[in-house]
């Protein structure tokens, strides 16, 4: 069964959710896993694309916007396509993607913005009502 983790960012800088998504993706890729980041729309995907080039000094996270079918690209970003061959889903969208159960792990990234928190609570209820084991990780602040 898919493991679902909620990462709750208590204090957040601009683009805090996206920064945390980059860090989660970097950690998963470091473990040899392929990652798909599901976003709400093309604009959010473009912001995340830019951030993956610059989120940490001296670090670059190889990625592509699309379904991730390119075997050499460990991270894909998209809002409308179903990814191919990934183990980790990072959800930055308001809704639970219909294809979430194809992944070994799902990371839901939440910040303290009221609308983001409420949408996160709805997704938490969705998973809980379907019997998924849920883990919550509170992140006080993003360090360097």
The CATH number for 114's domain is 3.40.50.10110
Range of the domain at 18: 3-139
Contact by Cβ (8 Å): 115, 108? no
Q: Tell me which residue has tokens 């957040």.
A: 12
Instruction: Judge whether residue 141 has pLDDT over 80.
Output: no
pLDDT at 53: 87
What three-state secondary structure class fits 142? coil
More confident of the two residues 23 and 71? 23
**Local confidence band at 67 (pLDDT 50, 70, 90 cut-offs):** low
The number of domains in the chain is 1
* Confidence at 70, pLDDT banded by 50, 70, 90: low
DSSP per position, 63-132: EEES----TT-SEEEESSS--SS-SEEEE-SSS--TTGGGSSEEEEEE-S-HHHHHHHHHHHHHHHHTT-
Residue 54 belongs to a domain: yes
pTM, 2 dp: 0.93
Cα separation, 72 vs 59, in Å, equals: 18
């Amino acid at each position: 069964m898919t493991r679902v983790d909620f990462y709750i960012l208590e204090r957040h800088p601009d683009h805090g959710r996206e920064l945390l998504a980059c860090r989660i993706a970097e950690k998963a890729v470091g473990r040899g896993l392929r990652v798909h980041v599901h976003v709400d729309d093309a604009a959010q995907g473009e912001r995340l694309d830019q951030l993956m080039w610059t989120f940490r000094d001296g670090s670059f996270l190889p990625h592509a916007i699309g379904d991730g079918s390119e075997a050499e690209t460990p991270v894909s970003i998209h809002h409308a396509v179903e990814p191919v061959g990934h183990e980790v889903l990072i959800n930055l969208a308001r809704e639970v993607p219909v294809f979430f159960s194809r992944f070994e792990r799902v990371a839901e990234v939440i910040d303290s913005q009221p609308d983001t928190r409420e949408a996160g609570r709805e997704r938490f209820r969705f998973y809980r009502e379907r019997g998924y084991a849920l883990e919550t990780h509170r992140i006080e602040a993003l360090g360097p």
